Amino acid sequence: MTQLGSDIQYLPGVGPKRAMLLKNELGVATFSDLIHLYPFRYIDRSSIQRIAEVTPDVAHVQVMARVIRATLYGPGSSVFVQRNQAGVEIDNCPADKNGVKVLRFNAVKRLSVIVADSTGEMEMVFFKGIKWNWDRLTPGSVFVFFGKPQLFGKRLNILHPEVDNPPSQADMPGNVGTLTGVYTSTEKLKNSGITGKVMNRLQASALNACLPEIEETLPEYILREKDLVPLRFALRNIHFPQDADALTKASYRLKFEELFFLQLSLLKQKYIRSRSEVGIRMPKVGEPFNALYKRLPFDLTGAQKRVIKEIRADLTSGHQMNRLLQGDVGSGKTMVAVLSCLIAYGNGYQSCIMAPTEVLSQQHYANVSRYLEGSGVRCALLTGSSTAKERREIHAGLEDGSIAILIGTHALIEEDVRFRALGLAVIDEQHRFGVDQRSKLWAKGPGVPPHILVMTATPIPRTLAMTLYGDLDVSVIDELPPGRKPVQTMLIGQGKRRALYKFMRDEIAKGRQVFVVYPLIFESEKMDLKNLEEGYEDIVKAFPLPDYKVAIVHGQQTNEVKNFNMSAFAAGRADILVSTTVIEVGVDVPNASVMVIESAQRFGLSQLHQLRGRVGRGSEKSFCILVKDEKVSKESQRRLDLMCATENGFELAEEDMKMRGPGDLEGTQQSGLPIALNIASLVRDGTILSEARVYAEHILESDPFLSSPRNLPLMKELQKDKYNIKDYSKIS
C-alpha cells in the first residue's frame, strides 16, 4: 500500500484513539485525507498587534499576551474562583451538603481571562469550552489570541478567541515561512490534545511521508498555459507557505484544479452525448404551432422567442435535447413548454408535462387546455386522484396516439402508463423529483430517448447552475411579460397588525383576495402548527362570516381537504387563504393581490421570492407584506431589506448563496454538489469556476474522449471514484 492510502492511526503522533476522533470529527481516515484537509485561515506571525493599538472597529485582531488573571463566574455574575500570577485563588464555590466547597463546571456561566502585553490589558471571554480553557490559560503563560475585538463597558474584549501557543520554529517542522495554517477543529479534538500546534506537526509528518509519491494530475501543457505551480509545490505551500506569494499560487492551483476537474467530468458527458447520443429529429414546426403562435392575445417577450429558437435548434439537431429552462415566477415558461409540445405534435410525437403537485398539474392542465382550445390537439390530466375509468381512457388514448400531451404528477411514470411515441418530456420544478423517479421517463421513449426540457422557477445562481447542471444546456427567460406590474414589498413589525388587517379589508372590498403564509418549515414541528392554528383563529375573528370567508391549507391535511380548500380559493369562493409553504409552488390566482408572510425572518431569500411570485399575476397593483417577529438577527434583517429592495430573482439567489452557502439553498439540499469541494468555494471563487469551465470546453472541443496521449493524465484522474458522477443528462 502507498503512504497516501495508509490508515491515519499509523502516522506518528496519532494512534488508534486519535485516529477514531479524526475520522469521526473531520472525516480524516488516511494520510491522503489529512494532506487534503486545508487550512481555513493563516496566522501571520509578522503581524501581531500591540494591545494599545487595538480598536473595536476592525474585523479581527491578533495579539500575543501574558495571562494576568482568570475568573470563573457563576449565576448573576457571582465570582466562583479567581486566580492570578501569584497563584492566589479566591474560592466562593457553592458548598455541597457536607459543607465541602466543590467547583462544578456545569454551574459556571462564563470564564473571563485578563491578558496583557507591555502596552495594555484586554479581556478574553468564554461561554463554551470553559474547563479546557481554564486548565490551559494559567496566569503567567503566554499565548496568541485571535478574534473580533469589541468594547464592553470601557474594556476591550474578544468573545471566544482562537488561542494558539506562541509560534516558534521548533513547533513547525517543515515550515520555513511566517504564515501558520489554522485548521478546522472541534471541542473533542482540542480536549484530546489535537491542538493547532499538533495539527501542524501531523501535517508536516504526512507531507514528508507522502510528497515523494504525489503524482502530477495535470498535463505539462496545462501547467504552462495556465501558469500553474506543480502539485507538490502547491501542497507544501498550502500547508506551510514560504511567503504570501507562494500561498497565493498554491491556493489558485488547487482551486483551479478542483473546479476544472468538476467541470471536465460534467462537460465530458455533455460532449459525448451531443456527438453520439441519437435523438429524435423534429424538422417541422407544424400547423398547430403556427396557429397558436398567430392567435396569442399577446406578443412573446424577446427572451421567450430566444429560448424557443434554442429549443428548435436542439429538436432539429438529431441529438437528444437536455435543456434546463430557468425563468422567474411569471416569466412565461409554461407558454414555451406548450409551444415545444406542439413542435413534437407537428412531427408525429407525444409529449408529457410532469409537475410535483396535483394543484400545479391541474393548473398546467387548465392553462394548456385554454391555449389548445379549437386546435384539435388533445391533452389529458393524470394524477393520483384520477379514477379507474379516467385511467383506462387515458391509457388507451396514449397507446393509440390520440392523446398528444399528457399532464400530471409522478403518476406519469407508473409502469402501466405507455406512450405510443413519446418525443418530449417537460419536467417542472425539477429538484422536487428524485433521480430514480425521473429516470423512469427515459425508458418511455419509442426506442430512442425523448427530448428533455427541465423547467425551474427557483432562480439558481450562475456558479451553482454551472455545477449542479453543468452537463445540461441552460436557457434563461430574463424578461417579464409586458403588463406585469412590480409587486410592492413592505416590511412591518408585530405592532402594525391592526393597520395590516385594515389594509386587507380594503383590498377585499375592491374584490381582491389575500394569501397569509406561516413558516411551517417541517411538518412535524408542533410549535409551528400551533402558530398556524392560532393565526387562523385570529384571522377568522378579525374577518368573520358572513362578510368574509377564510380557507386553510397545510401539509397535515389529506390531499382531498387540501385540494378542496385550495380550489375554493382559486375559484374565488374564499377571500383569504391561510397556508404553510405548500402554496410556494403552483396556485395561480390572478385575483390575489396581497401576500402576507408571517415571521418572514424564518424564510430564506429564494423562498420569500417564490412566495411573493404568487401575487402580481393579474393586472391589479399587488403587495407583499413581510411581518417580522420582535427579535430579528442582523443577517435576517439584511435578508428582509434585500427583499424590499429588489424583485430580481437571480440577484436574490446570488445573495442567498453568499449568506447561506450553496448547500442550504432551496432545492440543492436534495441534489447536493456532484463532488465534495475541499478548497474551492462556489460563493467566493466564481471567477475561477468560469475560467475552469471555459478551459475545460476548449480541451473537449478538440478531444471529447480525452484519448490523445497528452490528455492521458486527465483521463486517469477522472477515473477516480470521486468523479463517478451520476449521469444527470439521462435522468433529468
Torsional sign, CA 582, 584, 585, 589: positive
- Structural contact between residues 606 and 458, judged by C-beta atoms closer than 8 angstroms: yes
Q: What is the pLDDT of residues 434-472, one digit of tens each?
A: 555 556 776 777 778 889 898 887 777 767 777 766 767
Is the pLDDT score of 731 beyond 60?
no
User: What is the amino acid identity at position 182?
Assistant: V
Between 358-372 and 559-570, two packed helices, what is the crossing angle to 10 degrees? 40
Q: Report the pLDDT averaged over residues 22-48.
A: 88
Q: What is the pLDDT of residues 576-612, one digit of tens each?
A: 999 887 665 556 788 899 999 999 998 888 788 888 9
Under CATH, which architecture does the 287-477 domain have? 3-Layer(aba) Sandwich (3.40)
Is the pLDDT score of 168 beyond 70?
no
Q: What is the pLDDT of residues 190-203, one digit of tens each?
A: 878 888 878 999 99
Is the pLDDT score of 711 beyond 80?
yes
Decide: helix, strand or coil at residue 223: helix
| Residue 4 to residue 27: CA distance in whole angstroms | 15
Q: Judge whether 46-166 and 488-670 match in fold.
A: no
Q: What is the pLDDT of residues 643-675, one digit of tens each?
A: 998 887 777 777 777 776 665 544 433 344 556
- What pLDDT score was predicted for residue 712? 93
Ranking 8-12, 134-138, 668-672, 690-694 by mean pLDDT, the lowest is 668-672
Q: Report the pLDDT averaged over residues 626-646.
A: 89
Cβ-count burial of 10 within 10 angstroms (0-12 exposed, 13-18 middle, 19+ buried)? middle
Longest dimension (CA), the chain: 97
Paired sense of beta strands 41-44 and 350-354, if any: unpaired
Q: Name the fold adopted by 488-670.
A: Rossmann fold (3.40.50)
- What pLDDT score was predicted for residue 529? 62
- Structural contact between residues 516 and 535, judged by C-beta atoms closer than 8 angstroms: yes
| Residue 347 to residue 284: CA distance in whole angstroms | 6
Q: What is the pLDDT of residues 50-106, one digit of tens each?
A: 999 999 888 778 899 999 999 999 887 888 888 888 777 777 777 777 767 777 788
| Residue 202 to residue 173: CA distance in whole angstroms | 9
Is the pLDDT score of 559 beyond 80?
no
Closest to 266 (Cα-Cα) out of 607, 693, 669: 693
- What pLDDT score was predicted for residue 277? 63
Give the phi and the psi of residue 382 in degrees, each rounded to 5: -125, 115
The DSSP element (H or E) to which 354 belongs, if any, is strand 350-354
Cβ-count burial of 659 within 10 angstroms (0-12 exposed, 13-18 middle, 19+ buried)? middle
Homologous superfamily of 46-166 = Nucleic acid-binding proteins (2.40.50.140)
Tracing cell 486527465 back to the chain, one arrives at 714
DSSP state of 7: B
**pTM listed for this prediction:** 0.65
Between 302-316 and 333-346, two packed helices, what is the crossing angle to 10 degrees? 30
| Residue 18 to residue 24: CA distance in whole angstroms | 10
* Angle CA 273–275–279, to nearest 5: 65
List the chain domain ranges: 46-166, 215-276+698-732, 287-477, 488-670
